[in-house]
């Protein structure tokens, strides 16, 4: 089954990547199961944001609290590759945990979406829906 992503989430990821360039942007993908309704930006708190990303821990805590209160669940994460393709880098692969979450990567004017699977990142197909 293909992942469903709202046009608003896609547009937000592109806008954040452009606004952050030449640094990496990052954030959360919120929704339910295989539906991403929102891309929520987070501060990139990594000491070298031109080459790496680290999502602000408070943004993650807030998202988990919201989900426990009936809000959208954390489906995954997004970040940009200002100088590279939208595929997991060696660093991304090293940081993957195999938890099954979705990773969207913005690079070279495209967004590719991956599942952080037990045996490494797997590409996901997705469709974009308005709403």
Q: Which residues are catalytic?
A: 24
List for the chain the helix, strand, coil content (%; round to 5): 25, 40, 35
Helices (H) and strands (E) in the chain, counts: 3, 8
What are residue 114's DSSP bridge partners? 103, 123
What sign results for the dihedral spanned by CA atoms 85, 88, 90, 91?
positive
What is the signed CA dihedral for 119, 101, 82, 87, rounded to 10 degrees?
Answer: 30
Residue with the two structure tokens 């590759």: 81
């Amino acid at each position: 089954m293909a992942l469903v992503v709202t046009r608003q989430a896609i547009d937000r990821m592109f806008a954040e990547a452009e606004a952050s360039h030449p640094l990496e942007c990052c954030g959360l993908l919120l929704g339910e199961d295989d539906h991403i309704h929102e891309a929520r930006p987070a501060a990139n708190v990594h000491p070298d944001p031109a080459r790496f990303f680290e999502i602000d821990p408070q943004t993650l805590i807030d998202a988990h609290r919201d989900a426990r209160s009936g809000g959208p669940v954390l489906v995954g994460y997004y970040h940009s590759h200002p100088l590279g393709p939208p595929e997991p880098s060696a660093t991304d692969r090293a940081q993957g945990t195999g938890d099954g979450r979705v990773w969207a990567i913005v690079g070279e004017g495209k967004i590719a979406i991956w599942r952080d699977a037990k045996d490494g990142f797997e590409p996901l197909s997705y469709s974009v829906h308005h709403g």
